[in-house]
Amino acid sequence: MTGKLAILGAAGGIGRVLTQHARDDGWDVIALDLPRTLAAHPLDADIPQIPVDIADAASVEAAFADLGPLDGFVNLAGFMSPHQTLADTPVDDFDEVMIGNLRGAFLAARAAAPLLRERRGAMVNVASGLGALSRPGFGPYAAAKAGMISLTKTLALELAPDIRVNVVGPSAIDTEFLTGGAGRHQTTEAPVDLNEIAQLTPLGRVATPEDVAGPILFLLSPRAAFMTGQVLWINGGSFMP
């Protein structure tokens, strides 16, 4: 597959791997991310890089304004909520997670849709297994990702037949995301025990960014031409809905 692909969150842990694999597959990649994340994790100099803050509607609108027609769009943007019970979650923390994950996904999808329609392109959102399999301490993030899954299904219905919209739901991945998110303040330790997760996973290990990049590229490709509104769970067999 060749064409123009915009990746939101391209400088994050999964984003950097996806960007490289997409280029290897022949995509012309445009990278969008927070300015501080682009600065902290430099991408190849020949990749167009556009700073954007998905918490700011005007910033999202400006970032997409000059992209032109797209063949693909991937939304990797988001961050983990502080590990605490819902009863102990301050309203400001809850709102920040919803704005940075669910509201940001809405803004990005709304901006990308007209650009994808011109070329009958494909959109892939990145949610989380927590969007369907809740765990204590991750309430706001899980709720936001469940909302993203629902958002994806609605978009798939409303944008068909011109645009396909799917979502992947990875399990825990050992990147800086677990301690806050690329470009954000990092906590001292991950809120999950990766060794324990590996032991409980049928395939016997924790997911890597490469494990997520492959399914995303599949959903963008003509090989997934009859798939829309679907969730691909990427978890080594630990969750089978």
pLDDT bracket for residue 1 (50, 70, 90): low
* Residue 149 pLDDT greater than 90, yes or no: yes
Q: How is residue 223 written in tokens?
A: 């090989």
pLDDT bracket for residue 192 (50, 70, 90): confident
Q: Could you tell me where the DSSP H helices lie in the chain?
A: 13-24, 35-40, 57-65, 91-97, 104-117, 139-159, 194-200, 209-220
DSSP lists the bridge partners of residue 29 as 5
* 3-state percent helix, strand, coil for the chain, nearest multiple of 5: 45, 15, 40
Calculate the alpha carbon distances from 5 to 21, 73, 75, 102, 196 in Å. Answer: 12, 6, 11, 21, 36
pLDDT at 174: 82
Vertex 180: Cα angle to 153 and 53 (nearest 5): 60
Tell me the three state secondary structure of residue 53. coil
3-234, what's its fold? Rossmann fold (3.40.50)
Share of the chain above pLDDT 70, in %: 94
Give the contacts of 154 (CB within 8 A, at least 6 positions apart).
Answer: none
pLDDT bracket for residue 9 (50, 70, 90): very high
DSSP lists the bridge partners of residue 165 as 123
CB 183 within 8 A of CB 37: yes
Which residues have a catalytic role annotated? Answer: 141
φ, ψ of residue 118 in degrees (nearest 5): -60, -30
DSSP state, residue 201: S
Q: How is residue 201 written in tokens?
A: 């996973």
pLDDT tens by residue, 153-188 = 999 999 999 999 999 999 999 877 665 445 545 455
- H or E element in which residue 31 lies: strand 27-33
pLDDT tens by residue, 113-145 = 999 999 999 999 999 999 999 899 999 999 999
Q: Distance of alpha carbon 98 from its chain centroid, rounded? A: 14
Q: Where are the domains of the chain?
A: 3-234
pLDDT tens by residue, 218-237 = 999 999 999 999 999 999 99
Q: How many residues does the chain have?
A: 241
Distance from C-alpha of 163 to C-alpha of 63, rounded to nearest angstrom? 20
- H or E element in which residue 122 lies: strand 122-126
pLDDT tens by residue, 31-52 = 999 999 999 999 999 999 999 9
pLDDT at 188: 54
